[in-house]
Structure 1
Amino acid sequence: MQYIRIQHIDDPLFAKMHRLMQEVFPPEEVLEYSLWKEPLEDPGIRVFVAVHDEEVVGATEYRYYTDLNVAMTDFTIIGREGLGVGRFLAKQREKDLHALAAENGKELYGMFAEIYDPYRVEEHAFGGIKPMDPFVRREVLSHLGYKRTNFSYVHPSWQNDGEAVSGLDLGFMPTDENQTELSADLIVTFLKRYYAVLPEKPEAWLKMVDGLSAKETVELLPL
């Protein structure tokens, strides 16, 4: 299996990846095809696919913020069972991020991820791909070391229609597994930067950010 970075919308592997995204994720979570041009060319956004027998069998997108010394996993897709795609992507991503942090003269502080809560929202079928089942994914992310930030989380829809998307937790995987809280200011700074690309912010998101701004720390709880 190969771990290949995609940096241009005309890369044939991107068409395969985008098709896989549409099969797996609900529509409000998938950025329209043409709008990927700038993100793919952004050196700070890292999009990699797992390629097996010339087919895209998995993908992951993530980014590293040098000033915050944190990463964000945008998504991870496991497109085929029985190949170890999930572990392959996780280990390759981990190596890449630790190398980026080392280049920055630091040890990676941790990594954010938005994590579906299937105990609240059950309609996401994820294309019928069993490893992408939200119950399975949540448990896998817990095994990897992700924790749940203790506040009610929403995010702006990636369709940029001003709607709030709920049914998720904002997760964080600290490098120090004994860490039990996170700076609220770090969360606010991260969220404002991450969603700066979407001008249409829902009122629920703005209220959430204001609420976080009034806090000093946020608990990290088990998933």
Structure 2
Amino acid sequence: MEYRRITGIEDPLFKQMHQLMQNVFPPEEVLEFDLWKEPLKDSGIRVFVAVYEGNVVGATEYRYYEDFNVAMTDFTIIGQAGLGIGRFLAENRREDLLSLAEANGKRLSGMFAEIYDPYRVGHYEFGGVKPMDPYVRREVLSHLGFKRIDFPYVHPSWNNDGEAVSGLDLCFLPMNDHFEELPAGLIVRFLKRYYAVLPNKPRAWIEMVEDLGAKEAVALRPI
């Protein structure tokens, strides 16, 4: 299996990856094909696919913020069972992020991720791919060490229609097991940076960020 980076929508592997996203994720979670053109040019956005026998069977997108010394996992897709795709992607992503932090003269602090909560919203099918089942994914991410950031979370729809998307938790994977909370200011700065690409912010998201800004820290809880 190969770990291949995608840097443009002209790459034939990107077309396969985008189709895989549409097969797996709800429509409001998938950025339109042409809108990927500029993000893929951004050296800070790292999109990799797992290629097996010439086909894209998995993908992951993530980024490293040098000034925050944290990463964000945008998504991880496992296209089929029985190939060890999840472990393959997680290990290669981790190695890449540790190298990026080292080049920045630091040790990676941790990584954010949005995680579906099927105990609140149970209708996600994720293309019928069993490894992508939200119950399975949530438990796997718990095993990896992710923790739920303890506040009610919504995010702007990637349709950029001003709608708030709920049914997820914002989580964090601390590289130091002794982390029990995160500075609220870090969360606010991260969310503003991450969602700067979407101009139509829902009122619920704005109020959420304002509430976070009034706090000093937010607890990390098990998922």
TM-score scaled by length of structure 1: 1.00
4+ residue segments displaced more than 2 Å: none
d(CA) in 1 for partners of 2:178, 2:123: 34
2:87 matched to which residue of 1? 87
1:161 matched to which residue of 2? 161
String of CA shifts for 1:96-121, please: whole Å, max 9, x gaps: 00000000000000000000000000
The answer to whether structure 1 residue 41 and structure 2 residue 41 are counterparts is: yes
CA-CA distance at 1:161 after TM superposition: 0.2
Instruction: State percent identity of aligned pairs.
Output: 71
The answer to whether structure 1 residue 219 and structure 2 residue 222 are counterparts is: no
CA-CA distance at 1:77 after TM superposition: 0.1
Question: What are the residue-to-residue correspondences of 1:18-57 with 2, within 5 Å?
Answer: 18-57=18-57
Structure 2 unaligned runs (5+)?
none
String of CA shifts for 1:46-75, please: whole Å, max 9, x gaps: 000000000000000000000000000000
Aligned-partner SS, 1:113: strand
CA-CA distance at 1:178 after TM superposition: 2.0
Question: What are the residue-to-residue correspondences of 1:100-139 with 2, within 5 Å?
Answer: 100-139=100-139
d(CA) in 1 for partners of 2:118, 2:80: 21
1:16 matched to which residue of 2? 16
TM-score scaled by length of structure 2: 1.00
Aligned-partner SS, 2:199: coil
d(CA) in 1 for partners of 2:70, 2:179: 14
CA-CA distance at 1:177 after TM superposition: 1.5
2:206 matched to which residue of 1? 206
d(CA) in 2 for partners of 1:92, 1:5: 11
1:184 matched to which residue of 2? 184
2:75 matched to which residue of 1? 75
Count of residues paired in the alignment: 223
Structure 1 unaligned runs (5+)?
none
d(CA) in 2 for partners of 1:177, 1:202: 34
